[in-house]
A and B are shown apart, each in its own frame.
Chain A
Amino acid sequence: MSIVTFWNGTKEQSGTTFSAIAFAVQSAIQHNMKILLISTSFNDTTTRDCFWKSNIKKSIFGSSAEKISNNGIEGLELLMRGGKITPNRIPEYTGILLRDRLEVLTGVESSNQDLYDKVKEKYGQIISLAKEYYNLVVVDLDRRLNIEYQRTILGLSDIIVPVVTQKAKDIQMIQELINQNDILNRENTVITIGRYMEDTKYNAKNITRNILKSKDIINVVPYNNLLFEAAQEGRVIDIFFDFMKIRERDINYRFTQELNRLFDTTKGKNDMLKMKRGQ
């Protein structure tokens, strides 16, 4: 019912994709919601690598006849060109991670520029339709996407999560964008620090107090070694199930708690927006 877009508005690498993935997986495990994670990347298999070791399953009876891409975003794009898309048909093209909880729609993984050009025009439509079927649509917005398409997707989003580095300059830049009140505004934006490290002068408390001059502590997605390793081995779901067993003393506890806090913040802002709109 709502769209949360993770967006990197800066020039620095801030861990947007991992933050979006971690947010989607933790939310799906903790809450009984139908969540769709959409990646808008091009020529990149990061999202797929997080969940699957290899997509080729060659059975003992030989390979599949589906040589042309009838799956994923490519299949959806074909369906849209054919004018046959409805919200209920989107799940037929997604990859299932947790049944009835979490599905993923990976971006264009090949280097086929023509295909990407076709697909990027349709992201807005796909996201809008997905919103009607899923409780939560988490979009990992690729910063290499054209500005106009980025603006379209940001415009459709209920909540925008600009993922920034711990640099004061980046945070101030996003703050300025919020003050301009164009696409980002105080109501729909949740600034989040990606790849966060606590043991520095620029920690969440100091940034909140000195740069943001706010009372609500800025959201963070701490850097996590286990997630980094699991992302390369296709075990991200497993690692989050392991995190369910950890206690307060565990070094990974803060990571899950921060993801939960991020969920609560986005949900809170979204509820406020809905109330304002009278929904």
Chain B
Amino acid sequence: MTISNILLVLLVILIAGIFIYFHIRSKKNAEIVTNIDVDDQTYTLAKMIEFIKRRLDEITKINLYDIGLSEEELKRRKTKKYELKKALKGCTYGDVNDKKYVKELIYDLLAKEYGVTEMNISKAIPFDIPSVLTPQDKFDILLYFYKKEYAYEALGELINKYKLDDFKYVQGETKPCYVITEEEINDIYEKENLTLAFSDKLNIVVQRIYQQYKGYSSIDEIRDMNIDGVSGGVSGLPESFISQVAQTDSADYLTQIAEHKVQRACDSIWIMFHRKINSFRIFIFWFRSRTKKSLPKYI
């Protein structure tokens, strides 16, 4: 081996050494979660969802071999990580226990890491100004309180108490129908005059985050209720039809769609609530739903 070969080998070893040193150093100094920069948008639902997604991803993808655990400890931590992964997977299939566990984890992450407090929680949902609350916010709050008392009978109790399953006429409709309107929810919210503690508010925010991140969007909580069934995406024109129309020159029709004059598939959900009649439908029309998952027609 010539001297130049030896020098080259040494050079390669030196470069590799420098590379490994800097790689380890960069990893050592890397922040797992950067400090949360607080601005006007920090405590909005969108930002919170983003944070939760990132944190759960980090927790489930952590390399346990890097932490320097003993064999037994490593085995246990692996089991725990696997359980969390299983819960995150199970909750997407609607497992109630997995959902509860994931929601509690989200609650802890928001309260302990993200710094959600009584002062800033209203940026996610304006609990303190009822006039700004959307009908969906009000419905979520009502359902949360009823669920605390009646568990899975909450929706049934709400419907029975306020006779929401009555056959009624709605403005713009010629025939009577089974419908729950925005006005009814607003009235109920006013009548109930609920006082929300911080933990209640956070639980409602957690549910909203959960339903958008892992759950079934607007129907997530309704789906768990003791009712005969839920149906969504069957109220009007499907998205595929609208995109087809958009490719044609029917500008008038597109304007009507934009102004919500034409019913769209995700504009409402239907629930089958068993009472006197075996099966009937209640039309809830405030949900301009962003249901991302492809749901079966009847769950």
- A residues near B (Cβ < 8 Å) are 57-70, 75, 78-79, 81-84, 89, 91-93, 96, 99
Contacts and interface: CB of A to CB of B under 8 A. Distances in A.
B97 interface: yes
Contact of A84 (B58, B70, B97): B97
Interface residues of B, number: 38
Given A69-B108, A96-B73, 6 more contacts: A60-B28, A61-B28, A62-B28, A63-B32, A67-B32, A68-B112
A62 B101 contact: no
Contacts of A91: 76
A61 B27 contact: yes
A61 B108 CA distance: 27
B21 to A, nearest CB: 11
B68 A83 contact: no
Contacts of B70: 96
Interface string B58-92: 11011100111110110011011001100100000
Contact of A61 (B24, B72, B76, B77): B24
Contacts of B61: 65
A57 B70 CA distance: 11
A84 B87 contact: yes
A79 B101 CA distance: 7
B29 interface: yes
B113 interface: yes
Nearest to B105: A78
11 contacts: A59-B66, A59-B67, A62-B28, A70-B80, A81-B104, A82-B97, A82-B102, A83-B101, A89-B83, A92-B76, A96-B70
Contacts of B24: 60-61
Given A68-B109, A68-B112, A83 B97 contact: yes
Given A82-B104, A83-B101, A59 B68 contact: yes
A116 to B, nearest CB: 14
A82 B101 contact: yes
Contacts of B7: none
Contacts of B275: none
Contact of A57 (B58, B67, B97, B105): B67
A65 B67 CA distance: 10
A61 B80 contact: no
> Considering the complex of A and B, which 9 residue pairs feature the smallest CB-CB distances, nearest first?
A82-B101, A61-B66, A65-B62, A59-B68, A65-B58, A81-B104, A65-B32, A62-B28, A92-B76
A278 to B, nearest CB: 36
A61 B24 CA distance: 6
B101 A64 contact: no
Contact of B29 (A62, A65, A67, A82): A62
A60 B55 CA distance: 22
A41 B204 CA distance: 32
Contact of B72 (A57, A79, A99): A99
B6 interface: no
Interface in B1-43: 24, 27-30, 32-33
A88 B66 CA distance: 26
Contacts of B59: 65-66, 68, 70
Contacts of A59: 66-68
Contacts of B66: 59, 61-62
B100 interface: yes
Nearest to A88: B79
A83 B32 contact: no
A99 B84 CA distance: 25
Given A68-B112, A68-B113, A70-B59, A78 B73 contact: no
A118 to B, nearest CB: 10
A68 B28 CA distance: 19
Nearest to B86: A84
Nearest to B75: A92
Contacts of A66: 59, 62
B32 to A, nearest CB: 4
Contact of A92 (B32, B80, B101, B108): B80
B100 A82 contact: yes
A65 B108 CA distance: 15
A81 B101 CA distance: 7
Contacts of B73: 96
